[in-house]
Structure 1
Amino acid sequence: MSTTLSPSAARVQALLDSIGLGHHVVEHEGSTRTSEDAANSVGCEVAQIAKSLIFRTKETGRPVLVVASGANRVDEKAVGRLIGEKIERADPEFVRESTGFAIGGVPPIGHAVPPLVLIDDDLLRLETIWAAAGTPNAVFRLTPADLVSMTGGRVESVRKA
């Protein structure tokens, strides 16, 4: 772990500092890009990884952030029904433009374009979770309640059966 944060991770840390709940970004030597990598790096269950997935609404082109448990696949049709518009997977360019971060390091906060936010209800069953913090090897620990308050997201069932 590094003591000096990379620029993107430092940006997330500054956002967390402004929220004022005492969260700290940790950068690891190895990748935390996948839920499995992140869980191995921090020593938690894959389900405790809050993965930030960016979709794009088909008609209006708005960004949609789904924060899902690392153990779950997202039901894109259900997300479309929940927001009232079909969605599609976002390409890396759209992800970077709308969030300001690259895929694999997208945090749940601080996006360039404020997204519609849905939070996987499975995350709320956990005591603590870990989210990406701006780079493919940076994460921060938080509670599900912190995630909801930070993002203003709607808690919904988004897991693919």
Structure 2
Amino acid sequence: MLQAALFDLDGTLLKVNTSDFMKEYFKKIALAAAPVVEPGRFTRALLDSTNVMMTNRDPALTNAEVFWSDFRARLADCHEALEPRMDDFYASEFKGLARMAVASPLGRQVVQAALDRGLQIALATNPLFPRTAIYERMVWAGVADLAWELVTTYEEMHSCKPHPEYYQEIARRLGLSPEDCLMVGNDVEKDIAAAAAAGMRTYLVTDYMVNPGQEDYRKVADWYGTLDELAGWLAGADWEQVSLDGQALARVRRYLKEFDAGLAPLVLNKATGTVEEAARALGVEPGMIAKTLLFRAGDGYGLFVVAGDVRVSTKKVKELLGAKPSMATPEEVEKITGYRIGGVCPFALATEVPVYLDSSMQRFDVIYPAAGTAHSALPINFEKLKAITRGTVVEC
């Protein structure tokens, strides 16, 4: 069950052009340091030491300790005079950079929605800045006064994004397991893929999405949408269903990783209750949607994976199962398959059950069975589906 929501700051709760902001930041802090050290030398040292800090994965050293150890070595002749100037910059001049950022009107709303649902909240911004600078940016975003359980700063954290250790440390400090945490962010690699690697559920905010690798984020995130959609989702989500969906999707992803790392489920931004809805959401013809149906016959069951435009022959099911069949109840479906109706995946099942594959699906290069939830689908070819399910090919 979800118990905490982690929020990225820049690009998620705060609209900011990171490139422009960093240029102005380096210009201003170098100017503050100019009476002590030549600006070009200072900026190079600051960048190099920040890069060293970003690679830190030593749990015995905070990011600040790593940064200052390296930075002092680079500026050994002047660091004693420089350090108080940097402290003064963050305490007084950093706030002048507020003009480079714009608070999202929905940022506070989504965080408040998480609080209203009883979730702990943590600000999971990349901990590259001192506490004073991070809290100042929280003021710009209009969220500084909220009841944050944890704010990640470089004085306290022991790694940075995109290392999974960063997210695992947050979970430990909240007293939770990673799977009890939802990471909300706009960066596909640093926020979503990294948090998922740590075992967290993820929600990708698409308003100001960062995706330099052009990854298909539907294969990475558990949910995605705009800040406005996130606010509604947080306010109305069924946490039990969210938790079950997260567990089911994670189980399918683990199974696929062992079978063929090139296969990955697609997450849709809303549940699809019919073949036609799924086809529209994926932009494919209905026949390519692979329905997974559980039949009961006597004391036995059979799982049939059928093209979306094909109707299963009751006579054929009876012939295969040896008794008059009926559709399994929702309770039976969940017990036998481990998935709820609408999201039944034909593999990684809770129990051993024979699987039958409709031969007509071979006419398509790609078919789309559900991947454990009603808002997911797995693009796969027929031969791989046959291999992963160990299914028997039949004419339905």
TM-score between the two structures when normalised by the length of structure 2: 0.38
Which entry has the higher C-alpha Rg, 1 or 2?
A: 2
Q: Which residue of 1 aligns with 2:275?
A: 35
Q: Distance in 1 between matches of 2:393 and 2:261?
A: 21
Taking the aligned partners of 2:260 and 2:295, their CA distance within structure 1 comes to 29
Distance 1:19 1:78 in 2: 30
Q: Distance in 2 between matches of 1:64 and 1:33?
A: 22
Would the aligned equivalents of 1:32 and 1:139 in 2 still touch at CA under 8 Å?
no
1:100-126 C-alpha deviation (Å, 9 max, x unpaired): 110000001011111111111110121
Write the distance in 2 (CA, Å) between the matches of 1:81 and 1:63.
13
Match of 1:52 among 278, 289, 292: 292
Instruction: Say if 2:301 and 2:321, in contact at 8 Å, map to a contact too.
Output: no
1:4 aligns with 2:206: no
User: Identity, % of aligned pairs?
Assistant: 33
- How many Å apart are 1:20 and its aligned residue? 1.6
Q: 2:372 aligned to 115, 122, 134, which one?
A: 134
Higher relative CO (Cα under 8 Å, sequence separation at least 6) belongs to 1
Larger helix share, 1 or 2: 2
Tell me what 1:23 maps to.
263
Partner of 2:383: 145
Gaps of 5+ in 1: none
Q: What do the CA deviations read for 1:79-111 (whole angstroms, capped 9, x no partner)?
A: 111333332110000000001110000001011
**TM-score normalised per structure 1:** 0.90
CA distance, structure 2, for counterparts of residue 72 and residue 26 of structure 1 = 23
Count of residues in correspondence between the two structures = 156
1:21 Cα deviation after fit: 4.8
Shift of 1:4: 2.9
- Structure 2 unaligned runs (5+)? 1-216, 223-245
Looking at structure 1, the residues matched to 321 and 336 of structure 2 have their Cα atoms a distance apart, in angstroms, of 18
**1:64 offset after TM fit, Å?**
0.8
Please tell me the root mean square deviation across aligned C-alpha atoms, in Å: 1.5
Which one is further off, 9-18 or 96-105?
9-18
Q: Does 1:13 align with 2:230?
A: no
Contact 1:33 1:105 in 2 (8 A): no
Q: CA–CA distance in 2 between the matches of 1:103 and 1:40?
A: 19
Higher strand share: 1
